[in-house]
């Protein structure tokens, strides 16, 4: 059944461990580097297990739509060797809607709104809900085309396939968003039973994305638009509901006004929010009025319909549930013109993994075992598999600067100057054909360093081309740009951003990145959310563990992710620089699993 000519190093051993764990219902934590072939190893092990366990199915969740593709590709390969394997996928419903695909409409609205509109369309029999039997496919687009040719709603066609499918590939919200999850685990067609599911969580280091699927926010603008909506549709909403809703919205808006403009997360008292706002609002009335408006908007705007009042209701309804069920594990925060309900204990979103048949959490930078157990809230036995280096370890060299740090309290022009000169110094020592990827702790530090770097660069004869990550930078555009350049290149990126997590810069299979500079350890900047999250985790697991789980491990995962950009194959060689003396602590070196050489910038350069 193995779809490739041979097994790569260590793959067979890992397959054995996974198969054994599946039989014993143990959860697997698979920490294996890029190039190991995690996806196929996991799919293959599960497929073999399914041969003897026909009642089981696999729900394989990935962070984004883009990450569905490599999994489908491997399933396609697997099916070419084992025709009995069936698979399907789910991405955002609006991206799989037949009506939208036919008209190529852009739908910029929350998934929850679209799901309600879809329900209305179906109740009016406007949708061709059909089973189709596609040949195997390796791309989302291939499947969408087949479904369109057959005049079938692709989302439902995929859903009908649940019955025969062994593998369902879906994006995170289908597992971690409580509203969207229902469409997988309880629905009119193609239901997956959690107790029979082997759940695979891809990129399981990325708890931020997992939590984001469960957090909820509401902007003052949305509340203001809800008021306008009430005026506009006053003819359709009974006066008594209208009056009540208007009063509720003003209560909410007045509350939000007090905190509007917070530049960083500002914690609000959840009891106060409940008492001052939520307890004074009849959510049934708000729900009824918002549904009337939503219905009219669907009549008028079709798939593009979005009711702002419905968003308000959804937010308050969510808060009400969380406040009742998870009082200690959530916090209410203000940021800009928004208020947000955020989780302070991620386990409330992830502990459902305990109810599955079993689960596999995998990543190239998987957090340690105790983190998985506590932060994910896993109660079952965990088999932690660390694959280690699969490429020659001598291809990686680590360096650390002991005379600089971006510690929050000591930041200033001296620090930024040192970082700028270090970057130029390192760039000059890396062969010109290789890119230097520089990773900063934040946009703010990056811009401060760059302002000095630009001036210092003018004094150097060698031409350097800089690519600077912006909030709207697109990975594909950067990759394309790089292909056209002949100068020395420095990419300036932010830790945890798009370029450090997703970019792959290779030519003929070899990495183009010759050095990665971490210009300051990317510890999170202090704010009320971080403090509240830290306080809750410390309360649950003690101060030391709390700090590790909330601050240290996520920081080091970002560093490892950045390092991971440089070595993509056995022939790649790279140098890694950490410009922050805090990295020399025993704990950090242990967690990063490195022994760096200490470097120092020649003092004449700073004179």
Query: Which spans of this chain sit near ligand SF4 (rule: CB under 6 A)?
Result: 93, 97-99, 118, 121-122, 127, 153, 155-156
Q: Which helix (H) or strand (E) holds 513?
A: strand 513-518
Q: How far is the CB of 33 from ligand SF4 (least distance, A)?
A: 39
Closest approach, Cβ 98 to ligand SF4, in A, equals 4
Q: In the complex, what is the shortest distance from the CB of residue 136 to ligand SF4, in angstroms, rounded to a whole number? A: 23
Closest contact distance (angstroms) between CB of 165 and ligand SF4 is 18
Q: Return the number of the residue (99 or 396) whose C-beta is nearest ligand SF4.
A: 99
Residue 129 or 283 with smaller CB distance to ligand SF4: 129
- Residue 384, classed as helix, strand or coil, is strand
Q: DSSP strand E in 325-381: where?
A: 330-336, 338-343, 358-363
Q: Quote the least distance from Cβ 486 to ligand SF4, whole Å.
A: 48
What's the Cα-to-Cα distance from 395 to each of 364, 398, 507, 566, 578, rounded to whole Å? 18, 10, 18, 10, 17
Choice between 93 and 297, CB closer to ligand SF4:
93
Task: Write down the least CB distance from residue 301 to ligand SF4, Å.
Answer: 13
Nearest approach in angstroms of CB 87 to ligand SF4 is 20
| Cβ closest to ligand SF4, residue 60 vs residue 155 | 155
Sign of the C-alpha dihedral computed for residues 523, 528, 529 and 530 taken in this order: positive
Q: How far is it, in rounded angstroms, from Cα 529 to Cα 346?
A: 13
Nearer to ligand SF4, 156 or 357 (CB): 156
Residue 402's alpha-carbon distances to 454, 551, 584, in angstroms, are 24, 21, 8
Query: Minimum Å distance from CB 110 to ligand SF4?
Result: 15
Alpha-carbon span 19 to 383, nearest angstrom? 11
Q: Is 358 left (phi over 0), alpha (psi -120 to 50) or beta?
A: beta
3-state SS assignment for residue 339? strand
Q: How far is CA 160 from the centre of its chain?
A: 27
Token pair recorded at residue 567: 């070595």
Helix (H) or strand (E) holding 111: helix 111-123
Two structure tokens written together for 175: 């597992």
Between residues 156 and 523, which has the closer beta carbon with respect to ligand SF4?
156
First vs last C-alpha separation in the chain = 64
Tell me the closest approach of the beta carbon of residue 129 to ligand SF4, in angstroms: 6
Minimal distance in Å, beta carbon 197 to ligand SF4?
23
Rounded Cα distance between 242 and 251, Å, is 14
For the CB of residue 125, give the shortest distance to ligand SF4 in the complex, in Å: 10
- Give 20 or 99: the residue with its C-beta nearer to ligand SF4: 99
> 216, 234, 137: which is closest to 179 by C-alpha?
216
Q: How far is the CB of 156 from ligand SF4 (least distance, A)?
A: 5
3-class secondary structure, 148? helix
Cα-only R_g, the chain: 26
Beta strands 167-171 and 216-219, pairing class: unpaired
Q: In whole angstroms, give the CA distance from residue 124 to residue 117.
A: 11
CA-to-CA distance for 420 and 436, rounded, in angstroms? 13
Give whichever of 33 and 173 is closer to ligand SF4, judged by the CB atom: 173
Question: What are the residue ranges of helices labelled H in 469-578?
Answer: 475-484, 498-502, 528-541, 543-547, 553-563
Distance CA 572, CA 396 (A): 9
Which structure tokens are listed for 537?
């985790």
Contact 607, 421 (CB under 8 A): no
155 vs 174, beta carbon nearer ligand SF4 = 155
- In angstroms, rounded to a whole number, what is the distance separating the alpha carbons of residues 307 and 310? 5
Q: Which is nearer to ligand SF4, 111 or 438 (CB)?
A: 111
Query: Toward ligand SF4, which CB reaches closer, 305 or 540?
Result: 305
CB of residue 122 to ligand SF4, shortest distance in Å: 5
- 107 vs 540 by CB, closer to ligand SF4: 107
Cα–Cα distance, 556 to 558 (Å, whole number) = 5
β-pairing verdict for 396-401 and 574-578: parallel
The CB-of-267 to ligand SF4 minimum distance in angstroms stands at: 39
In angstroms, the CA 163 to CA 87 distance is 10
Q: Distance (Å, rounded) from C-alpha 458 to C-alpha 408? A: 29
Q: In terms of CB distance, is 153 or 252 closer to ligand SF4? A: 153
User: Which residue number, 102 or 429, has a Cβ lying nearer to ligand SF4?
Assistant: 102
How many angstroms from the chain centroid is the CA of residue 57? Answer: 24
What is the Cα–Cα distance from 344 to 351, expressed in whole angstroms?
Answer: 14
Least separation in angstroms between CB 103 and ligand SF4: 11
CB of 31 or CB of 183, closer to ligand SF4: 183
């Amino acid at each position: 059944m193995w779809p490739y000519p041979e097994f790569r190093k260590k793959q067979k051993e890992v397959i054995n461990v996974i198969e054994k764990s599946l039989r014993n219902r143990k959860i697997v934590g698979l920490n294996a580097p890029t190039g190991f072939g995690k996806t196929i190893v996991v799919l293959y092990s599960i497929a073999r297990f399914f041969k003897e366990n026909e009642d089981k199915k696999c729900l394989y969740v990935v962070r984004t739509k883009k990450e569905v593709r490599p999994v489908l590709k491997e399933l396609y390969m697997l099916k070419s060797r084992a025709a009995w394997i069936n698979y399907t996928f789910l991405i955002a419903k609006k991206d799989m809607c037949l009506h939208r695909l036919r008209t190529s409409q852009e739908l910029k609205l929350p998934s929850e709104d679209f799901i309600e509109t879809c329900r209305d369309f179906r109740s009016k029999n406007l949708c061709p809900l059909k089973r189709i039997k596609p040949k195997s496919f390796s791309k989302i687009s291939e499947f969408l085309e087949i479904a369109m040719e057959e005049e079938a709603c692709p989302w439902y066609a995929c859903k009908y396939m649940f019955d025969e499918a062994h593998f369902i590939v879906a994006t995170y919200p289908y597992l971690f968003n409580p509203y969207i999850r229902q469409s997988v685990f309880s629905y009119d067609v193609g239901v997956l039973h959690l107790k029979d599911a082997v759940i695979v969580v891809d990129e399981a280091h990325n708890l931020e994305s997992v939590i984001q699927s469960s957090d909820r926010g509401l902007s003052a603008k949305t509340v203001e638009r809800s008021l306008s909506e009430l005026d506009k549709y006053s003819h359709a909403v009974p006066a008594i509901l209208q009056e009540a809703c208007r009063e509720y919205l003003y209560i909410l808006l007045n509350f939000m006004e007090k905190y509007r403009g917070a530049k960083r997360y500002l914690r609000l008292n959840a009891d106060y929010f409940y008492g001052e706002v939520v307890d004074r609002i009849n959510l049934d009335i708000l729900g009824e009025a918002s549904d009337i408006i939503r219905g009219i908007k669907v009549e008028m705007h079709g798939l593009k319909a979005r009711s702002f009042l419905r968003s308000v209701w959804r937010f308050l309804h969510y808060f009400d549930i969380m406040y009742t069920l998870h009082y200690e594990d959530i916090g209410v925060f203000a940021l800009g013109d928004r208020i947000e309900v955020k989780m302070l204990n991620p386990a409330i979103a992830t502990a459902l993994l305990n109810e599955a048949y079993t689960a596999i959490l995998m990543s190239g930078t998987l957090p340690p075992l105790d983190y998985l157990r506590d932060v994910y809230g896993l109660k079952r036995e965990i088999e932690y598999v660390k694959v280690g280096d699969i490429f020659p370890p001598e291809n990686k060299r680590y360096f650390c600067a002991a005379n600089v740090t971006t510690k929050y309290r000591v930041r200033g022009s001296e620090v930024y100057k040192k970082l700028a000169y270090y970057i130029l110094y390192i760039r000059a020592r890396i062969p010109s054909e290789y890119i230097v990827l520089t990773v900063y702790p934040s946009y703010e530090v990056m811009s401060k360093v760059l302002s000095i770097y630009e001036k210092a660069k003018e004094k150097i004869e060698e031409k350097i081309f800089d690519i600077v990550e912006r909030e709207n930078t697109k990975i594909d555009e950067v990759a394309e740009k790089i292909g056209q350049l002949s100068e020395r290149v420095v990419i300036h990126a932010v830790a945890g951003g798009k370029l450090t997590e997703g970019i792959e810069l290779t030519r003929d299979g070899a990495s183009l990145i010759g050095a990665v500079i971490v210009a300051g350890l990317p510890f999170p900047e202090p704010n009320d959310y971080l403090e509240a999250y830290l306080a809750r985790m410390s309360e649950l697991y003690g101060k030391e563990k709390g700090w590790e789980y909330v601050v240290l491990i996520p920081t080091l995962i970002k560093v490892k992710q950045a390092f991971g950009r440089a070595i993509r194959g056995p022939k790649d060689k790279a140098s890694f620089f950490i410009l922050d003396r805090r990295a020399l602590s025993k704990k950090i070196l242990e967690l990063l699993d490195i022994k760096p050489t200490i470097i120092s910038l020649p003092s004449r350069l700073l004179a």
